[in-house]
């Protein structure tokens, strides 16, 4: 029986374990937050992420291979782990994916379209970037951001110093920012793929994602009415990225669909919220394929059974019992306390048609207070 070491101990680690147990895999989580919510497997807590900590040596001794559920990990730690044992995806994937500047440079190197941008280190450089790009501009910290945190949309040049003070000066010190042109997109898409050690690759159907206040709320997959050229392009991009990184495991690429084709936003070297639908929606979920890839097992089928939607439960749990009494709702709760902006669980729903999917999702959302209105695919209105 193989034992998987996971850096991080939140809901992604929990779902990795839930998909790994049927494959006779066991789990040990290494938590650096001090607040593990995973609720299963063995757990080691080390809030300093200290490579000298004997608990790290004991953890590495206990597991056969190490992976992670988030990419904001000190490189010193991942490189140390990589020198001792197998780490998948490799440190290079973490290094690139934890820094928006490196990510964008790689997109550009591979000829993958990405918004025009400037890297800036102070308020003056930010102002010069905004003058060049033209408002609106999305300013983001190059590191540490997630769920829309560390971002500021600059709508007029006068807002530059406010933006710098709000995200450039963090309690941890001065941050480098990326200033990006604001993309006028039709909709947001993501493509999730897995690559094995011997360069086999599988790709899931693209998902259409709706965000509210920077947080993902709904993913519909396969993305409705998707042009085949667009989907082929996304598959090519994600495969090129995995190949170039020497990636092993799941890689997620977030994209904007515009009237001129796809524009790459960011990527994550891990299972992704927009892939939770694959648990009920495909024969092999993103979690299972991640484990298969890092364990050297054959990759599983990624075809979608039918139109599927994933609904995030954010901040408050709502009327879960009413949702559970619906015959088509698959409820997943993460064992976390209610808190503003927090991901507490998700619900997956499948249907035979998009129309049926839409009313089922609307029905579920009516039991989730604070959920934004679900309006179906943005592509149906065009
Ligand atoms: N350049 C941009 N133009 C328009 N919208 C953007 C841009 N960058 C980000 N956004 C919006 O903000 C959301 C979060 O930004 P993202 O870069 O994906 O950061 P996070 O790491 O928080 O997911 C995106 O999903 C998108 O809705
Ligand atoms: Mg994102």
* Average pLDDT estimate for 269-295: 98
| 188 C-beta closer than 6 A to ligand 1 | yes
Ligand 2 (ion): which residues have CB within 5 A? 254
**Superfamily for 187-381?**
ATP-grasp fold, B domain (3.30.470.20)
CA distance 378 to 382: 8
CA distance 197 to 225: 33
| 211 C-beta closer than 6 A to ligand 1 | yes
Question: What does residue 221 show for φ and ψ, rounded to 5 degrees?
Answer: -140, 145
Ligand 1 midpoint to CA 359 (Å): 28
For residue 133, which ligand has an atom nearest its CA? 1
What residue segments make up the domains of the chain, in order of their start?
Answer: 2-87, 116-181, 187-381
% pLDDT > 70, the chain: 99
User: Could you tell me the CA-to-CA distances from 101 to 46, 104, 141, 308 in Å, in that order?
Assistant: 29, 5, 10, 34
Predicted confidence band of residue 380 (pLDDT cuts 50, 70, 90): low
| 214 C-beta closer than 6 A to ligand 1 | yes
Predicted confidence band of residue 382 (pLDDT cuts 50, 70, 90): very low
* Average pLDDT estimate for 121-137: 97
Do the first three CATH levels of 116-181 and 187-381 match, i.e. the same topology? no
Within 8 A by CB and 6+ apart from 89, the residues are 67, 245, 247, 248, 249, 251, 269, 270, 294
Within 8 A by CB and 6+ apart from 19, the residues are 279, 285, 287, 288, 291
In this predicted structure, the answer to whether residue 126 has a pLDDT above a threshold of 50 is yes
CA distance 347 to 361: 9
Strand duo 2-7 + 25-31: pairing: parallel
Q: How many Cβ atoms sit within 10 Å of the Cβ of residue 229?
A: 10
- Segment 172-195, tens digit of pLDDT: 788 999 999 999 999 999 999 999
- Segment 220-276, tens digit of pLDDT: 999 999 999 999 999 999 999 999 999 999 999 999 999 999 999 999 999 999 999
Q: Which atom of ligand 1 is nearest to the CA of 216?
A: 25
pTM: 0.97
| CATH number of this structure's domain 2-87 | 3.40.50.20
pLDDT at 1: 84
**Superfamily for 116-181?**
ATP-grasp fold, A domain (3.30.1490.20)
Q: Which atom of ligand 1 is nearest to the CA of 150?
A: 22
In this predicted structure, the answer to whether residue 342 has a pLDDT above a threshold of 90 is yes
Half-sphere exposure of residue 139: CA atoms within 13 angstroms, side-chain side: 33
In this predicted structure, the answer to whether residue 372 has a pLDDT above a threshold of 50 is yes
Torsion of CA 280, 284, 287, 291, to 10 degrees: 160
DSSP 226: -
């Amino acid at each position: 029986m193989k034992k998987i070491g996971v850096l991080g101990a939140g809901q992604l680690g929990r779902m990795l374990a839930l998909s790994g147990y049927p494959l006779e895999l066991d789990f040990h989580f290494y938590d650096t937050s001090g607040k593990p919510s995973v609720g299963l497997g063995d757990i080691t807590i080390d809030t300093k992420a200290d490579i000298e900590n004997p608990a790290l040596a004991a953890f590495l001794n206990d597991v056969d291979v190490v992976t992670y559920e988030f990419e904001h990990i000190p490189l010193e730690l991942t490189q140390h782990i990589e020198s001792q044992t197998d780490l998948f995806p490799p440190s290079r994937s973490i290094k690139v994916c934890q820094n928006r500047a490196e990510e964008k440079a790689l997109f550009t190197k591979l000829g993958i379209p990405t918004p025009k941008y400037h890297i800036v280190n102070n308020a003056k450089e930010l102002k010069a970037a905004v003058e060049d790009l033209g408002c609106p501009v999305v300013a983001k910290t190059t590191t540490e951001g997630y769920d829309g945190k560390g971002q500021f949309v600059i709508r007029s040049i006068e807002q530059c110093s406010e933006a710098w003070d709000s995200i450039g000066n963090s309690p941890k010190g001065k941050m480098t920012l990326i200033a990006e042109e604001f993309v006028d997109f039709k909709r947001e898409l993501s493509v999730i793929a897995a690559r094995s050690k011997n360069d086999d690759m599988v790709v899931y159907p693209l998902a259409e994602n709706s965000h509210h206040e920077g947080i993902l709320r709904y993913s519909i997959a396969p993305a409705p009415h998707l042009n085949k050229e667009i989907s082929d392009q996304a598959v090519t991009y994600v495969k090129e990225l995995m190949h170039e990184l020497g990636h092993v495991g799941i890689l997620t690429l977030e994209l904007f669909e515009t009237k001129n084709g796809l524009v790459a936003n960011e990527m994550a070297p891990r299972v992704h919220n927009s892939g939770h639908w694959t648990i009920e929606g495909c024969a092999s979920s993103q979690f299972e394929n991640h484990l298969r890839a890092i364990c050297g097992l054959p990759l599983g089928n990624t075809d979608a059974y039918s139109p599927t939607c994933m609904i995030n439960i954010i901040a408050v749990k709502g009327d879960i019992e009413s949702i559970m009494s619906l015959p088509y709702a698959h409820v997943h709760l993460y064992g976390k306390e209610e808190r503003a902006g927090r991901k507490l669980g998700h619900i997956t729903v499948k249907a035979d048609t998009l129309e049926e999917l839409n009313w089922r999702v609307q029905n579920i959302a009516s039991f989730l207070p604070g959920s934004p209105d679900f309006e179906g695919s943005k592509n149906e209105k065009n």
